[in-house]
Structure 1
């Protein structure tokens, strides 16, 4: 219980005044006397009366003293804190990345494991259920910036819906800004209280933010949490025996748990396991791990094999930098026009001769797969059989591919009308008559669409197969006069640009929700962030539409909110993929320390856990009612006369 104003004690001086009145009260005795002696006796009584008399036990005296004491007590403003009695409760809920850590209510039995935010939701529901009628809630979410979800809302259904919709935010967390806003919202609101739901793993100072109302911190902090984080990971291309191609990977891992951890780091290249290393790291320590002689890949992934209490930092991604002209592997028995046209694009062309028959070829005679993965593979004509298996099959599967001709039944054309679809490969082309007399009869795959038809029969198709660009001409260049036409160099240049741009470039690493500048093709009409690997893919996070600047795709994009490997994909008319970019989205690295000391401290008049989510309940009205009752009793006593 508390007192609002001790100044009311001054009214307590009325109590000795009442006592003094009774001390100086004249006392008369009831005596039966003959009438002719009446006045003489009265005169004697008056003469015998003395002002200072013994205080006698009278009911009226005690009733009057009680009224005076109650009035003094009322003027002091007595109150008690009542649970859920606040008319306005401001709830600050921590949704920072560390709230995704596992929370266990029974660590020994391993029962009821949820993340810390789910536990906070249960605590919030229990708290709001205790609020009385007419109570209002302001729900303030602590994320990259303070976000007011509800403002003085009294609808309980909206309370529960807002609590259910809360999600962990993996980017920067606005700790001080959120507390400052809560303090400002309650500064001039004496009927308010503040409840802060958090794991208390705060990375900013909080003890200098002053609150004037009761504050409670509801904590999900748990000691003995385990977390091994990959803090840094990168790859670079080097030299092996004087030849370009070897890749080295370097990673830094830190143990944020309170016990020594032993685990294995697995390194993958384009989904294939390349290397593994076991590590042992003491509590609070870090270790640097190197991987030598790695095969080239587009995307490298490093993963912690052992599960811990915080998953978002258990994976990291890295990309090899691609600079200069694209490298093209031309698989052909000999086509001078095609080779020269490819060279005119500025590409580095390496031709692999397939003129020799592959019938009865031995395994020892199969050409070795290049150590350096080409950016594009161009297949002119029919592929030898050994390309359908082993390392060559894997290379073709993971590399942008342009196929011209091939093996299949031919269809003779009866109509030479050409129809082209809007696609980067067909830009600036003005082919009016058919360059060939026949086409290969081939069913177009589900992932592709025709970009040129001759006489109503598909002649070219393009699309993306498992993230890699595919372009197919259903005729051989030697079967017509296309290489002799002036449009041919333009067609080859368009094809190389599209095949190379379809292969995503690495944009590096960004915090979740951060702003990033991305080059956008002028012909792009659609864009989206697509989860490819890591935490986002494992949790089934859907694709995120790109931000538009009016009717165009904006070059300034917001990185996805969930950690993992994402691909920013741009499409043109008829869903043709124009370009793609890989981005590693990471959680705020400071949030990995889920086992740190409690760092949330609150200051202010009412800022303590004792007064948590409770409000002053005044007794003044009840005292006034009691005073009225006492006065009515006193009037009844007075009416009974001197017998009391």
Structure 2
């Protein structure tokens, strides 16, 4: 039995009021008067009020108290739960976050590796749907990277079970709060509605941004047990130590269990086993593992074995980054300050005078391309005409570029007030005075981020255009006193480091379903994502067609939805070369941190009033049968209680009609 409105208790004040009235009730005594001469005196005595008299056992008093108590109960809107009779609206939230792909317990894992939390949830949901009444309406919400309404107010059991069977895990950042908010909105001010959440209980604390309130009952059914544990690779990277120093790597392993665990780390390079390391990690702690003098490879894969509940974080990939000095091509007619500052960073600088160079490669009058592909191209002054043609155009399109000044209309800042914005390039810099008096009049492109402002005009901006780093200063060095300032070498060093960030054989790592920028060409007409290694390949992930925009491959792609190493094959138009990009897709790291059943914090409340609080976890899996709201409905007791109160009032009236108090 439940209570829908505790506000009805206020009427309970009528009970002591009735008792007080009986305490102050006048009491009349039968008196024998021997003489009518004494009548006036007796009359005065029998009409006297006798307050606070002893409360006597009177039937009328008890009937009045019972009637008032029944009215109080009726005003509190009592109800009871009945099975199989629901005709209302139930919103089901099916948790398909990444942690649902974990096996549900150590004992079961030995028997059946395919019995994941998601499998158990779907089985439980199908059973509950089969038991629900024929007229019940169900809205099915999928909790993934974004809330998704799969079915709305559906009564067909077969359609519901089919939608449940097609559920799959979503490895991106789960939209917990957004899904709860949607469920709350769908059931708000609906007295016959209810919410049922099917989950493993591994939710982050979403209460920081405010609680999600429900004014309907909320039931949480857990498909997880307390035996689950997880050990994860949280960080992994490799680095080449100079030209002949080999490759070194470092990994961080975290144990989310309560007790310590022992695991084995196997490091592969291009599919060949390079090193093995045993690691013991205390419960709730992390351990760092280093690998030295590794053979050179394009892609390194670190695999963790030892058995745990959650597989997507048991592998990590890394692409070799260059640790040697940068190879910089400086296109300048001569700028000693800039050239020396670039050399101070440890880079190898090759200066090319655009006006004095001649050659045949890359177009008429264009100089020959450098023998070694530069890591960074720096253009001092206006861009030479040949950089927009042929092979030079392709080289600049795929190489990080830093430009100083250029041609075009110039503007005078209205004030010398200088603002240095936060960015890796401006780290440790504090330019309080304007370094120049004239700026190129240009708008910051959509991919750019302002670094420096003079007055209200941008003086420098940076960003990635189609995945390639770009750094632009809108004034020429010869028109500036910046080279004479002590901050100039720091600025140049920061710029070189930022332009080289992420230069590796692959494009790095990205979360499943997230957006990433790719350095595609204008004539790339087709592309395909192909699983290469890791969890995606083991899970049998299929190839995914790359997104297209205006007939060509879009430079902004959505990463595949399953963790692992993916290869994007891009095909150009006829005669253009094919290109390949490697990307490591990861699951949301927050999904790795679980140690058994935890209460859902900030998810709402079980009462049917919008009171802030947490949903209490109710584990349906331990009892062997779900106690979901799907198979129950709320039967009101207001009318039976009100009818009983009316009968008591009629009996009371009959007692009163007798003319005496009993």
- Give 1:537's aligned residue: 537
CA deviation profile, 1:295-317 (whole Å, cap 9, x unmatched): 11111111113232111011111
Q: 1:588 to 1:112 in 2, by over 3 A?
A: closer
Q: Is the CA contact 2:105–2:227 (under 8 Å) kept in the aligned structure 1?
A: no
Tell me the secondary structure at the aligned position of residue 120 of structure 2: helix
Q: Is the CA contact 1:88–1:135 (under 8 Å) kept in the aligned structure 2?
A: yes
- Give 2:315's aligned residue: 315
Shift of 1:109: 7.5
- Give 2:658's aligned residue: none
Structure 2 unaligned blocks of 5 or more: 20-64, 329-359, 374-390, 395-503, 609-613, 619-626, 649-662
- Give 2:231's aligned residue: 228
Q: 1:106 to 1:305 in 2, by over 3 A?
A: closer
Aligned ranges for residues 143-162 of structure 1 at < 5 Å? Answer: 143-162=144-163
CA deviation profile, 1:362-402 (whole Å, cap 9, x unmatched): xxxxxxxxxxxxxxxxxxxxxxxxxxxxxxxxxxxxxxxxx
Shift of 1:538: 0.9
Q: Is the CA contact 2:106–2:228 (under 8 Å) kept in the aligned structure 1?
A: no
Matched, 1:618 2:614: no
Structure 2 Cα separation of the partners of residues 299 and 314 of structure 1: 17
Tell me the secondary structure at the aligned position of residue 229 of structure 1: strand
- Give 2:123's aligned residue: 122
Shift of 1:608: 6.3
Shift of 1:165: 1.2
Q: 1:201 to 1:77 in 2, by over 3 A?
A: closer
Matched, 1:238 2:244: no
Q: Is the CA contact 2:600–2:615 (under 8 Å) kept in the aligned structure 1?
A: no
- Give 1:37's aligned residue: none
Aligned ranges for residues 12-31 of structure 1 at < 5 Å? Answer: none
Matched, 1:219 2:237: no
Q: Which moved more, 1:267-276 or 1:78-87?
A: 78-87
Matched, 1:583 2:579: no
Structure 1 Cα separation of the partners of residues 551 and 82 of structure 2: 56
- Give 1:639's aligned residue: none
Q: 1:275 to 1:187 in 2, by over 3 A?
A: same
Aligned ranges for residues 297-316 of structure 1 at < 5 Å? Answer: 297-316=297-316
Q: 1:617 to 1:312 in 2, by over 3 A?
A: same
Q: 1:73 to 1:291 in 2, by over 3 A?
A: closer
CA deviation profile, 1:57-93 (whole Å, cap 9, x unmatched): xxxxxxxx99999999777654212235261111112
- Give 1:376's aligned residue: none
Aligned ranges for residues 436-475 of structure 1 at < 5 Å? Answer: none
- Give 2:385's aligned residue: none
Matched, 1:278 2:278: yes
- Give 2:93's aligned residue: 92
Q: Is the CA contact 1:264–1:278 (under 8 Å) kept in the aligned structure 2?
A: yes
Q: Is the CA contact 2:527–2:553 (under 8 Å) kept in the aligned structure 1?
A: yes
Q: Which moved more, 1:148-157 or 1:165-174?
A: 148-157
- Give 1:136's aligned residue: 137
Q: 1:324 to 1:525 in 2, by over 3 A?
A: farther
Q: Is the CA contact 2:138–2:152 (under 8 Å) kept in the aligned structure 1?
A: yes
Q: 1:69 to 1:346 in 2, by over 3 A?
A: closer
Q: 1:136 to 1:538 in 2, by over 3 A?
A: same
Structure 1 Cα separation of the partners of residues 641 and 553 of structure 2: 69
Structure 2 Cα separation of the partners of residues 286 and 112 of structure 1: 27
Q: Is the CA contact 1:7–1:76 (under 8 Å) kept in the aligned structure 2?
A: no
Tell me the secondary structure at the aligned position of residue 160 of structure 2: helix
CA deviation profile, 1:93-141 (whole Å, cap 9, x unmatched): 2211111111149559846861111111122222222321211111112
Structure 2 Cα separation of the partners of residues 608 and 269 of structure 1: 47
Structure 2 Cα separation of the partners of residues 11 and 252 of structure 1: 68
Structure 1 Cα separation of the partners of residues 126 and 219 of structure 2: 15
Structure 1 Cα separation of the partners of residues 109 and 265 of structure 2: 28
CA deviation profile, 1:23-47 (whole Å, cap 9, x unmatched): xxxxxxxxxxxxxxxxxxxxxxxxx
Aligned ranges for residues 451-530 of structure 1 at < 5 Å? Answer: 505-530=505-530
- Give 1:184's aligned residue: 185
Q: 1:88 to 1:106 in 2, by over 3 A?
A: farther
Q: 1:625 to 1:314 in 2, by over 3 A?
A: same
Structure 2 Cα separation of the partners of residues 536 and 109 of structure 1: 22
Structure 1 Cα separation of the partners of residues 535 and 123 of structure 2: 25
Aligned ranges for residues 343-382 of structure 1 at < 5 Å? Answer: 346-348=370-372
Q: Is the CA contact 2:139–2:149 (under 8 Å) kept in the aligned structure 1?
A: yes
Q: Is the CA contact 1:101–1:594 (under 8 Å) kept in the aligned structure 2?
A: no
Q: 1:617 to 1:567 in 2, by over 3 A?
A: same
Shift of 1:227: 1.9
Select the structure that is richer in strand.
Answer: 1
Structure 2 Cα separation of the partners of residues 2 and 599 of structure 1: 23
Structure 2 Cα separation of the partners of residues 197 and 83 of structure 1: 19
- Give 1:373's aligned residue: none
CA deviation profile, 1:208-263 (whole Å, cap 9, x unmatched): 53211111111123223232211111111113xxx535111111111112332222
- Give 1:58's aligned residue: none
Tell me the secondary structure at the aligned position of residue 102 of structure 1: coil
Shift of 1:534: 0.4
Shift of 1:345: 5.4
Tell me the secondary structure at the aligned position of residue 523 of structure 2: coil
Structure 1 unaligned blocks of 5 or more: 17-64, 326-339, 350-423, 428-503, 631-644
- Give 2:342's aligned residue: none
- Give 2:83's aligned residue: 83
Q: Is the CA contact 1:568–1:581 (under 8 Å) kept in the aligned structure 2?
A: yes
Q: Is the CA contact 2:229–2:596 (under 8 Å) kept in the aligned structure 1?
A: no
Structure 2 Cα separation of the partners of residues 135 and 142 of structure 1: 22
Structure 2 Cα separation of the partners of residues 554 and 314 of structure 1: 32
Q: Is the CA contact 1:528–1:569 (under 8 Å) kept in the aligned structure 2?
A: yes
- Give 1:288's aligned residue: 288
Q: 1:562 to 1:71 in 2, by over 3 A?
A: same
TM-score of the superposition, structure 2-length normalised?
0.56
CA deviation profile, 1:457-516 (whole Å, cap 9, x unmatched): xxxxxxxxxxxxxxxxxxxxxxxxxxxxxxxxxxxxxxxxxxxxxxx9400011111100
Q: 1:575 to 1:168 in 2, by over 3 A?
A: farther
